[in-house]
A and B are shown apart, each in its own frame.
Chain A
Amino acid sequence: MRIAIALVLWVLPQVIFAQEWEDRQLFNDHASEQKLRIISSTDTSFFTPIIKSFISKYPNVAVEYLVTGTADIDRIFRATPDAFDVVISSAMDLQLKIVNDGLARPVSNVPLPSWAQWRQSLFAFTSEPAAIVINREAFAGHPIPDTRQKLIEALRARPEIFRGRIGTYDVRKSGLGYLFATQDARASETYWRLMEVMGALDIRLYCCSGDMINDLSDGTIAVAYNVLGSYATARVESKGAIEIILPSNFPTTMMRTAMVSIDAPHFEDASAFIRHLIALQSGSEKAAFPLPPLNSKLNDVERSTIALEPALMTFLDTLKRRRFLAEWEDAVIQKQQK
């Protein structure tokens, strides 16, 4: 009986946990001395070389890499900050709010310029523009739209081709999608026109970049809006089928950020991991760091990077978010029902 209860108690949380993660991998498992828990929104494939090089430097550290969506990271981490050492997410606004709320522990001696870090707690390590990704087939014989305006024109010109074949993030579920949407909306009114046009064409909503690119590769959808270019580039097998377009007027560029939990059980290892990550980022080895490194030319108008500043919290405000989502739903979803 006791054994049964113990078994249940042992299995139950594992089952619960196992269900929550999109992916969960252990590295250097046998070195059970310390287990660094990293919660991340980045696919494991991107982080495998980074973690492996980290382990080769710190052989007695085991790493557990847990992957989930950006909104989930925010929710799970805020509930149990002592369960994780490192938090990695592409949703800059959620990350910044976590730091602002005092849930991150500062790490000293991280060689990053001030624009790429906040409070010595939040560290940017990639620079990734939101891209329009298209299926080449759908645009065969037609000009490829290189701005949002031209995309609107292209969609309006051939609604029969695109109806039900446009994809974007469901901003209600995806933190990154919400960040891209709010920054787009802030930058230009074109965003709302585009959303209305896409909404009228029965847009498909996705939780994650991966699914969207899958559907794009096999032709289920012809256009994906605000996809991470880096994910699309990584799909070698679909390179022929899709094309990544960075909108030439204002490509919204996101920086992936990492931080150490205020209650990190292994603060020293977590700090070492952050430093290792930043060092790899500034190195030029493509194999060791498969993600696009920080763009040193930040002032380049062509690639306006979302700034790490408290203003990111604006759209996280309850009232502001409610209003934005209402407008977004008006544009995207209600039109679908009509």
Chain B
Amino acid sequence: MTRNLPTSGSLRNHLVLTLIGGAAILALLLFFAIRNYATQVAQQGQDNILGASVTSILDAASIRDGTIEVDIPYASFSMLSTQSDDRIFYAIYQDETFLSGYPKLSLATVSGQESIFQSVKHRGKTVRLVTASRTLIGIEKRTQIRVALAQTQDALSGTLAQISRNAALFGTGFFALAALLSIWASSTTVGQLKRLTNSVTRRGPQDLSPFEKPVPSEMLPLVTSLNSLMQRLDHSLGQSEDFIAEAAHRVRTPLATVRSYAEATLQRVDKEENRQALRSMVRAIDESSRAAGQLLDHAMITFRADHLEHQNLDLVALVNELVVRLMPIAEMKDLELRFHSDAQITYSGDPVLIQNAVRNLIDNALKYSPSEGTVNILVTAAPNVHVRVCDSGNGFPSEELNTLATRFKRGKNAEGTIGSGLGLTIAMDVARAHGGNLQLSNGTEGGACALLSL
């Protein structure tokens, strides 16, 4: 029944991959943005301290007796202390003349108040270099003092490494969260589809009613088409049932006429072979009209099962009435009908359907029981509400126990007995419509048992 359809990939995987991919790109962007920003901030921090330090050195420059003095404040270098014990280099120039510090330190040409920050190589190490100048006015001439101050970047790179680690952690966390969210989001989205699939799958074979539960707007077209498909299906099914019912009805009436004529003719015919032929005719007509009757019943049951009317009834009284009505037929066949039941069982169901089902079961039992046999009918509510009909016949053919209740299926031992093969089907349909089931079994000492649980 289920055929493996070719798939064009998984919607869910597609969704998850798209979302996770997006999250990964975002996480990477976040990481680089944070690191870039942190680098700027950290570099700005170092530059600020270097700038303050170089300014304090320049402030300490003065001309005394014609010579330049630069009384470097202790704090100028002290403020450059870092966690990683960064090395510092400095050089002081008067105009182009080296005065003090590290002569190999290259410094930028500066003028005015501007401080120039550079990252340069000094002694094979990248250092941050600040160059600033100050013009001193002496007695004879103006002179420019230039101070270059450089610091290694060990602490800075340590800080950056830590920030990078944190940013990476942050990015990973963001990514993990986004991945979880995307999996969750895709699951919920696909879950809607799954729910619809489930509700389609769970439906009974007769259930062709439209889906009423709210669905997401994107799925509305699908559900609408599905509903319209089912409506058309329901309609055509109904039509065919109607057709069968109509056909059966139309056949039954003429059959009755034909039967009455055949009976009448039988009275008047004396020739034994003619009488035999007529008797066969009557039998065939009986069989046909019974089949037509059951087809009608079946159509009625199908209709009523779809629109089940629940009404409170006393199951015991209902079955008892049926038994009383069938008593004459049983007596005609020399059969004994035994009825056992609880005092009263209130049940909510469709009385017409239940009566029909039970009648079919008892009919069957009467048909297949040999003369002088007994048919036991039990109605009880323990452990669940059920009606059991057992005869003393040959029982069902054991290999057919599971298939007997299908339409037009008759047991192998049914030959010679009038029947359409719809009786058990009707009982089964009624049981299912009431949420119950029909179980067939053979008694240990022979005889067939049908258990209609409701």
A in complex with B:
yes
B71 touches A310 (CB 8 A): no
**Mask: chain B, 48-91; 1 = CB below 8 Å from A; 0 = not:** 00000000000000000000111111111110110111111100
B72 to A314, Cβ gap below 8 A?
yes
Of all chain B residues, the one with the shortest Cβ separation from A102 is B123
Q: Closest A-chain residue to B101, C-beta based? A: A317
Among B69, B72, B101, chain A packs the most CB atoms within 10 A around the CB of B72
A320 and B72 within 8 A (CB): yes
Bound complex: CA of A119 vs CA of B81, how far in Å? Answer: 11
Q: Which residues of A contact B86 (CB under 8 A)?
A: 310
- Contacts A313-B77, A320-B72 hold; do A119 and B85 have CB atoms under 8 A apart? yes
Complex Cα distance A302/B75, Å? 22
Docked Cα-Cα span, A100 to B101, in Å, equals 12
- A313–B88 contact, CB under 8 A? yes
User: Within the complex, which residue of B70, B71, B75, B84 is in contact with A311, where a contact is CB–CB below 8 Å?
Assistant: B75
Across the interface, which residues of A come within 8 angstroms of B68, CB to CB?
319
**Cross-chain contact A311 with B99 (CB below 8 angstroms):** no
The answer for the CA separation of A186 and B84 in the assembled complex, in Å, is 25
Closest beta carbon of chain B to A106's beta carbon, Å:
10
A309 at the interface (CB under 8 A from B): yes
- Bound complex: CA of A314 vs CA of B100, how far in Å? 11
Assuming the contacts A311-B74, A311-B77, A311-B81, asked whether A102 and B100 have C-beta atoms less than 8 A apart, the reply is no
Question: Which residues of the partner chain A approach B99 to less than 8 Å between Cβ atoms?
Answer: 318-319
Report the minimum CB–CB distance from A255 to chain B (whole Å): 15
Is B92 interfacial (CB 8 A cutoff)? Answer: yes
B residues within 8 A CB of A311? 74-78, 80-81
Could you tell me how many residues of chain B have their Cβ less than 8 Å away from some Cβ of chain A? 25
| A99 to B101 Cα, complex, angstroms | 15
Can you name the residue of chain B whose Cβ is closest to the Cβ of A312?
Answer: B77
CB of A118 within 8 Å of the partner chain: yes
CB pair A323–B71 under 8 Å, yes or no, is yes
Given contacts A100-B87, A102-B123, A319 and B78 within 8 Å (CB-CB) = no
Q: Which of B69, B70, B80, B92 contacts A310 (CB 8 A)?
A: B80
Partner of B81, one of A186, A309, A315, A318: A309
Check if A314 sits within 8 Å of B87, measured CB to CB: no
- Chain A's interface: helix, strand, loop or mixed, by majority? helix
Choice from B69, B78, B89, B100 contacting A309 with Cβ under 8 Å: B78
Report if A119-B87 is in contact (Cβ < 8 Å); known contacts: A102-B123, A317-B101, A319-B100: yes
Cα(A102)–Cα(B102), bound, Å:
13
Task: Output the residue of B68, B74, B78 with the most chain A CB within 10 A.
Answer: B74
Q: How far is the CB of B105 from chain A (nearest CB, A)?
A: 12
**Nearest-Cβ distance from residue A120 to partner chain B, whole angstroms:** 8
CB-based nearest A residue for B84: A119
Contact between A310 and B81, CB atoms less than 8 A apart: yes
Q: Are B75 and A118 in contact (CB under 8 A)?
A: no
Q: How far is the CB of A152 from chain B (nearest CB, A)?
A: 24
B76: chain A residues within 8 A (beta carbon): 311, 314
- Binary CB contact string for chain B from 158 to 191 against chain A (1 if under 8 A, 0 otherwise): 0000000000000000000000000000000000
Is A314 in contact with B70, judged by CB distance below 8 angstroms?
no
Q: Which of B75, B78, B100 contacts A317 (CB 8 A)?
A: B100
Q: Which 4 A-B pairs give the minimum distances between C-beta atoms?
A: A311-B78, A318-B100, A311-B77, A119-B85
11 interchain pairs (CB within 8 A)?
A114-B83, A309-B77, A310-B77, A312-B77, A313-B88, A317-B70, A317-B92, A319-B70, A319-B99, A320-B70, A323-B71
Residues of chain A having any CB pair with chain B under 8 Å: 99-100, 102, 114, 118-119, 186, 307, 309-315, 317-320, 323
Residues on B facing A (Cβ under 8 Å)? 68-78, 80-81, 83-89, 92, 99-101, 123
Please name 15 further chain A to chain B contacts, defined as beta carbons within 8 Å, in addition to the given A100-B89, A319-B99, sorted by A numbering. A100-B87, A102-B87, A114-B83, A119-B85, A119-B87, A186-B74, A309-B77, A309-B81, A313-B88, A314-B73, A317-B92, A317-B100, A317-B101, A319-B69, A319-B70
